[in-house]
Structure 1
Amino acid sequence: MSAIYKDPHRPVNERVADLLSRMTPEEKFAQMHAYWLILSGDGNHRERTDLSDEFAGVAEQADLAERLKLGIGQITRPLGTHIVEAKEGVRAANRLQKTLVEETRLGIPALFHEECLVGLLCKDATLFPSSLNYGSTWDPELIERAAAAIGNEARSTGCHQGLAPVLDVSRDVRWGRTEETFGEDPWLVGMMATHYVKGLQGKNRDLLATLKHYVGHSFSEGARNHAPVHLGFCELNDTFLLPFEMAVKLANAGSVMPAYHDIDNQPGHSDEFLLTTVLREQWGFDGLIVADYGGVSLLHQHHGVSHDAAESAALAFNAGLDVELPKDDCARHLAQAVERGLITMEKIDEIVARVLKEKFRLGLFEHPYADENKIELQSESTVRIAREVATRSITLLENDGTLPLKGKPRVAVIGPTADDPLALLSGYSFPVHLIISDMLEQTSQVVTPLEALREQLGSDNVRYAKGCHIIEKRMAGAPVFPGDSGGKPMQQSPVSFDTSLIPEALQIAEQSDVVVLCVGDLAGLFQSGTVGEGSDTDNLMLPGVQQQLLEELLATGKPVVVVMTGGRPYNLGGQEDKVAALLMAWAPGQEGGHAIADVLTGQAEPEGRLVVSVPKSAGAMPYYYNHKLKSGGTPFAFHFGSRYPFGYGKTWTTFEYGTLKLATATVENQGGEVSASISVTNNGSAAGSEVVQLYIHDKVASMVRPVQELKAFQRVHLKPGETAVLTFTVPTDMLNFTRRDGQRVVEPGEFEVQIGASSGDIRSRGIVTVKGDTRIIKGNWRMVGHCEMKL
């Protein structure tokens, strides 16, 4: 008679209980961690070792084959670890899975995970734009379609869990991982993340999305990687936990990943309050909590809150962790932790039951293998979505009428990012991410701005000069990994200050009608680039001599159109008023060149709107639009503020707003809705779209509130002279904030409703009064409003 756990017709809970009862302690421990392997189709797999092992203080292990006989919880990035053809990689993963399913005592399959933030991180997968591009579209439904396309590519290669999206709320753009965020507004981040999760997971949650980095990772001390976070729970809940709560409650996210930092001296990987009390008990999260790579070992290696690996494992798993990633650095000491009384077998059983439940629910026992003949990468529809996201995210910040380019002008395309495929990619794209492993770039599918402009304008009309380098030679590794102290000399910055290429650029500029100057940064992990994980900065000047190149080109008198790509906004050294136009394209992915050329030539409208403010200077940091009144100092500091605020973006036309009209001047707190209408007219000569934004300011509250908070938005497309009336409805639940006792509350009182084209361009205001008693918000409260539009 077959075992209960092998019967797909039995309830999942029965199957879990049966299998758990058959497992030895060592087999249970094996389900609580992963292995990071270089897989081989002949079964001769080997463990991956690199600088991250040195970073975490972990030595190479032996006897892999023997350890695999116990089974394994997850396999880390089977296709994303090294350059391997997708079919070969799937074949190798299937070979390993066959060993686990057919050659171990219990036949428990492994769950495979990959990075999925900007596309599936594997060779030949579609290279999508960055999360900043996602956010800049202000189109959650489009991002849901993009995530669904990424999910389809992942499923086709046998991936069961994607380590995305990133829900960190940008607070300080000096932080290298700003490129991974959806922006600086918590509610907008929550909206984008919710739709991303829905798209990636699908209706049946048959691919687990992973919310990261839980939580507050983006408000680190000095915007430095892994640095401590100084936050009280009220701000933590209102700003940083909110997007996670939305994605859990609205999208049923399947996994969560804690962050490396500590908050008020409590490391994220051992925070029982956040991992268990808030996430599981208060929000009802029912998925898997997986460690950030090496995060458990950092409890003793860096944080110093435990003595050794066994104690670190006990701290993390007792706090709520389910699976250690990427390997078993600490989980391999669980037997010792049990023996020392640091963790109980009852807790082990609780954790392993959750792991097994997901494996049964995902259907791994019935369908453990991927079909190597059904891999689908770079399909026409997926590439089309990547291009749409790239195009619709491009944001026009300045324009003196030079854009769109008319006719077939002689164009000088200049700059270090004009013909560099890597300059269009963010840190978690396959070619960039593997620089740290000394892998070769795989960028044949990337279209650069130079290539696209030559295609559109004709090669005879386009001349090119690089002008300068950002980094002359891309190198793997980092000057010093976090936690190192002494014994290792700091390497010099890889950024180039060579000016020898500028004269050639000036020469071709003189011979052209207009200059398209492509500037920005290069993503790269751990200071192998100028932005990305571990590549933080201390200023907002363009890296290297790009500013000098810009100023010398401006001195020629030719109109200079600046196209900025990268993972954070940079200043132009006060030259913003002198450029003919300024486009922010972020890291637009493999189709970025087409997208940029389409906007430059008027084939497409610049639809993007900023989701991170562009501070006046690094001295303004941390800066974000939804700050407190006193954030600017007393008196107001000259360096504080933003030239281009959150929500800002120009287009080919202009819009006139009517007067805001409230449906009622008072609403009831319990079950109430704020309803506000406004007319928007295209009073320009070209068709175009506007992102109409609604903000709220709580005028008097029991605790300090931000000057404004985004609560709704709607894009409207209008022909010249056309008018639309937009009616926004915002539930009173969304007026909540966190009280000192940790409760979300909505207080009665006056709220200012602001509607405008950006956070800094409010066109009309009104006051609504919320009546009734102070109300505590619990459970599945109303997190999203809606907008009705009539032409």
Structure 2
Amino acid sequence: METAFSPAPYKDPAQPIEARVRDLLERMSLDEKIAQMHAFWLILSEDGQHHVRPSVGFIDGTDQPSFQRRLANGVGQVTRPLGTHSVEAGSGLRALNKLQRFLRNETRLGIPALSHEECLVGLMTRDATAFPSTLALSASWNPELIESVAQQIGQECRQLGCHQGLAPVLDVSRDVRWGRTEETFGEDPYLVGVLATRYVRGLQGPQRDLLATLKHYAGHSFSEGARNHAPVHLGWRELNDVFLLPFEMAVKQANAGSVMPAYHDIDGEPCHASRHLLTEVLRHRWGFDGLVVADYVGVSLLYRHHRVAADAADAAALSFNAGLDVELPADDCAMQLRLALERGAITLAKIDEIVARVLKEKFRLGLFEQTFEDRAEPPRLRSPECVATALEAARQSLVVLDNRSGILPLAPAARQRIAVIGPTAADPMGQLSGYSYHAHSIAPDEVQDTSHIVTPLQGIQALFGASLVRYEQGCQILEQRSAGTPVFPGDVDDAGKLPRQASPVSRRTDRIPAAAQAARSADLAIVCVGDLAGLFQRGTIAEGSDTDSLSLPGVQQQLLEAVVATGTPTIVVLSGGRPYNLGGLEDKLAAFVMAFAGGQEGGRALAEVLAGRVEPSGRLTLSTPVNVGAMPYYYNHKLKSGGTPIALHFGSPYPFGHGLSYTRFEYRRLAVATPEVPIEDGQVELSFELANVGERSGIEVVQLYVRDCQASLVRPVRELKAFRRVALEPGHSARVTFRVPVDMLGFTGMTGQRIVEPGLFDLALGASSADIRLRAQVQVCGPLRTLGRDWRMESHSEVQPL
């Protein structure tokens, strides 16, 4: 019996979590249970006068009077309390605490809410650190660095009352026309899995006291024509081997706390309604024990777009029965669960099962023991430690694609006159990806402070001397950053009647002559071109900003042609979220650098690499197609992907794994530990000598690729199975050893299960997927083997100086 001295069991932290969940669930009304299965998207206020976010054109949600009444039942989550609008961090935290105190102290059962924020490239709030894009981070090929970045992001999240971060993105890139390419870790499923696993470990910490959210589950990046939300055509075997593998790795190896299904359908089945994906695979096969949260309005799309549900109640029943736990960002469909229950479309037992999972996480995270009182000290964001990590990440992400003239590194002491040209050279927004706060939250009536973002121009001026640098913009990518672009509906019944909107990309060329003149007057031209991130066609890259071309957006190609025609040695710095072709000018450049979106320290890192203060160590994690006609293109394709005869537009001048150093490395003395490997528990072990034979210190990213010489199903021409960053001083060498579990040579067989087949395998060691230096073979011996649940998913490496 509950007394003043004997609180209800669910309020007693000494009780087992299961007992607390059971006790609380028994006390809850149906409305209180349903409240835990959705979020409210609010504009919070320190005075407690919270408001439902105004309509954004694709969310019905709850009106203000209904919200005030229903908040008494509690709520499962609060959507982006500090990331929805421009708010000072301390004020935003106080407003969130005010809401939490109301839920804890003034509702019948006192259940706090989970607060979630976007945090893909840093906590997506006004004052947080802006790290490089995910694609940039992947170019470091440095799992430890990515874990460190995620740790810093997690620290900023925790300071602002955030319990769940909607990151990382585990989509495997397949077609770089897709606007969300910049959010991915690249085109190799194993590399994506390794890097995402480290990100999850870093963000969540050892106690999983902040939930990482794996998205977008699954196959989102292989849509028709690389168009956002478009259908995906995949069989189970390719889905499992390529697109599910990173998710499986992050669930099993990093204990990921949450998963978010994707918007699309696969062979007619929407991911938000797939019991096979959300329950059978995720929970039953992999052992996932966290929360499945909807992508924003993903439940509504089941009846609005996919038309597999009759209405909101039907859509809610369909998704929650499939395995969903929480509808985000609001309550569009969850508010109709009572109707779904009356219809018999969902059972009370299923609702109890879902609510129990939500409550379990809230108890496990310690929310019921928090008082949510305001702290005296302000949140510590953008700390020196965070900024230093962002700078190091930007340094390691830069990829020197070409340096045929040997112009790099530049010598600041030479005091060359430098013309810095291009639309991204002096624009802070050019350093940001779509899920950076300032790019994501474009609003016409808000001017955001970007003074903390170092542009390429600022970085070059600081290192080479402002008096030696002349700047000309040359052209713009966008004349105006617009807001309010329509997002939904994203489909039309008759494409022939679709109104054609004018592209926001600038076509003005009147500034190009001044840029060409600046180049003529200089000893060297650095031309900065690429993307401006903006969601849903507010930019040239990001979610919903897909493309039909790999030519530089707008008139940037004309600008580049004019500068190159002057004869001044030209270095191109390409930033943004996808590779672009330069119309044949690649062969006429002095050097070509891929900078991606470097975050707030991107300009500083670029100048340091150009000057040789920092050795370039970035390597591509997706291939640059020779032509848009090659799309979809990826290095680990099947043999006949190029057609017969091989299509002229197929291939990549800068392939997966490519990147140059300022020194030279030699690969020598390959040794395979044993030429025959047992199929049951064996591992492929090989070692080789890596030598720095140049005159500078440098970092090589050594890569091991494997090919199955004969299999029961068609296999890729090569697959990455191991990699390692190796730093060597000039004249020094080291012995590098790779150990690859035989399990990693498997694939999904005819029965739908992962198998390892006996046979011969080619081993290829090199500096990229196309730059192979050493080769060997091993024989896997024994009967065909079906892999169990706990198969070995990662290789290991060692480096011993010689």
| Range into which the TM-score falls when normalised by the shorter chain | over 0.9
Within the candidate set 344, 349, 357, 1:341 is matched to: 344
Question: 1:388-414 deviations in whole A, cap 9, x for unaligned?
Answer: 000110000011111111122111010
- Which residue is equivalent to 2:122? 119
Cα distance between partner residues in 2 of 1:480 and 1:330: 19
Determine if contact 1:432/1:441 at 8 Å carries over to the other structure: no
Within the candidate set 11, 29, 41, 1:6 is matched to: 11
Cα distance between partner residues in 2 of 1:122 and 1:727: 43
How do 1:80-229 residues align onto structure 2 when only pairs under 5 Å count?
Answer: 80-229=83-232
Secondary structure, counterpart of 1:734 in structure 2: helix
Within the candidate set 771, 776, 780, 2:786 is matched to: 776
- Which residue is equivalent to 1:446? 453
- Which residue is equivalent to 2:21? 16
Deviation at residue 490 of structure 1 after TM alignment: 3.5
TM score, norm. by length of structure 1: 0.98
Amino acid at match of 2:51: R
Within the candidate set 348, 367, 372, 1:369 is matched to: 372
Secondary structure, counterpart of 2:442 in structure 1: helix
How do 1:527-676 residues align onto structure 2 when only pairs under 5 Å count?
Answer: 527-676=537-686
Deviation at residue 50 of structure 1 after TM alignment: 3.7
- Which residue is equivalent to 1:389? 393
Cα distance between partner residues in 2 of 1:496 and 1:277: 49
Deviation at residue 478 of structure 1 after TM alignment: 2.6
Question: 1:31-60 deviations in whole A, cap 9, x for unaligned?
Answer: 000000000111111111243xx2356675
Secondary structure, counterpart of 1:8 in structure 2: coil
Cα distance between partner residues in 1 of 2:373 and 2:521: 56
Q: Does 1:329 align with 2:336?
A: no
Cα distance between partner residues in 2 of 1:326 and 1:439: 23
Secondary structure, counterpart of 2:454 in structure 1: coil
How do 1:205-354 residues align onto structure 2 when only pairs under 5 Å count?
Answer: 205-354=208-357
Amino acid at match of 2:491: G
Within the candidate set 33, 36, 41, 1:36 is matched to: 41
Amino acid at match of 2:294: A
- Which residue is equivalent to 1:683? 693
- Which residue is equivalent to 2:66? 63
Cα distance between partner residues in 1 of 2:385 and 2:473: 33
Deviation at residue 149 of structure 1 after TM alignment: 0.3
Cα distance between partner residues in 2 of 1:770 and 1:437: 62
- Which residue is equivalent to 1:765? 775
- Please, which runs of 5 or more residues in structure 2 have no aligned partner? none
Determine if contact 2:706/2:763 at 8 Å carries over to the other structure: yes
Cα distance between partner residues in 1 of 2:290 and 2:365: 12
Q: Which shifted more, 161-170 or 504-513?
A: 504-513
Deviation at residue 740 of structure 1 after TM alignment: 2.3
Within the candidate set 396, 416, 419, 2:423 is matched to: 416
Question: 1:593-639 deviations in whole A, cap 9, x for unaligned?
Answer: 10111111111111100001000011000000000001111111110
Determine if contact 1:211/1:253 at 8 Å carries over to the other structure: yes
Cα distance between partner residues in 2 of 1:491 and 1:4: 60
Q: Does 1:478 align with 2:465?
A: no
- Please, which runs of 5 or more residues in structure 1 have no aligned partner? none
Determine if contact 2:695/2:730 at 8 Å carries over to the other structure: yes
Aligned residues: 789
Determine if contact 1:480/1:488 at 8 Å carries over to the other structure: no
Cα distance between partner residues in 2 of 1:530 and 1:58: 30
Amino acid at match of 2:8: A
How do 1:506-517 residues align onto structure 2 when only pairs under 5 Å count?
Answer: 506-517=516-527
- Which residue is equivalent to 1:525? 535
Determine if contact 1:322/1:351 at 8 Å carries over to the other structure: yes
Deviation at residue 477 of structure 1 after TM alignment: 2.9
Q: Which shifted more, 58-67 or 604-613?
A: 58-67
Secondary structure, counterpart of 2:81 in structure 1: coil
- Which residue is equivalent to 2:765? 755
Amino acid at match of 2:352: D
- Which residue is equivalent to 2:732? 722
Question: 1:573-609 deviations in whole A, cap 9, x for unaligned?
Answer: 1111111111101001000010111111111111100
TM score, norm. by length of structure 2: 0.97
Amino acid at match of 2:398: I
- Which residue is equivalent to 2:50? 45
Cα distance between partner residues in 2 of 1:426 and 1:784: 30
Question: 1:519-573 deviations in whole A, cap 9, x for unaligned?
Answer: 0011100000000000000010000111111111011110001111000011111
Deviation at residue 780 of structure 1 after TM alignment: 1.6
Q: Which shifted more, 643-652 or 41-50?
A: 41-50
Deviation at residue 479 of structure 1 after TM alignment: 5.7
Deviation at residue 371 of structure 1 after TM alignment: 4.5
Alignment CA distance shift 1:470-1:332 (3 Å): same
- Which residue is equivalent to 1:431? 438
Cα distance between partner residues in 2 of 1:707 and 1:649: 21
Deviation at residue 101 of structure 1 after TM alignment: 0.7
Determine if contact 2:444/2:482 at 8 Å carries over to the other structure: no
Determine if contact 1:480/1:490 at 8 Å carries over to the other structure: no
Deviation at residue 489 of structure 1 after TM alignment: 3.8
Cα distance between partner residues in 2 of 1:370 and 1:564: 47
Question: 1:261-281 deviations in whole A, cap 9, x for unaligned?
Answer: 000000000000000000000
Cα distance between partner residues in 1 of 2:55 and 2:389: 35
- Which residue is equivalent to 2:711? 701
Within the candidate set 723, 730, 742, 1:732 is matched to: 742
Cα distance between partner residues in 2 of 1:83 and 1:707: 49
Q: Percent identity?
A: 62
Question: 1:61-116 deviations in whole A, cap 9, x for unaligned?
Answer: 64221110000000000000000000000010011111111110000000000001
Q: Does 1:398 align with 2:405?
A: no
Amino acid at match of 1:71: G
Determine if contact 2:175/2:633 at 8 Å carries over to the other structure: yes
Determine if contact 1:695/1:712 at 8 Å carries over to the other structure: yes
Amino acid at match of 1:511: S
Cα distance between partner residues in 2 of 1:392 and 1:447: 16
Question: 1:179-204 deviations in whole A, cap 9, x for unaligned?
Answer: 00000000000000000000000000
- Which residue is equivalent to 1:745? 755
Cα distance between partner residues in 1 of 2:11 and 2:542: 44
Cα distance between partner residues in 1 of 2:498 and 2:96: 38
What's the RMSD between the two structures over aligned residues? Answer: 1.3
Cα distance between partner residues in 2 of 1:651 and 1:441: 37
Secondary structure, counterpart of 2:599 in structure 1: coil
Secondary structure, counterpart of 2:369 in structure 1: coil
Q: Does 1:74 align with 2:77?
A: yes
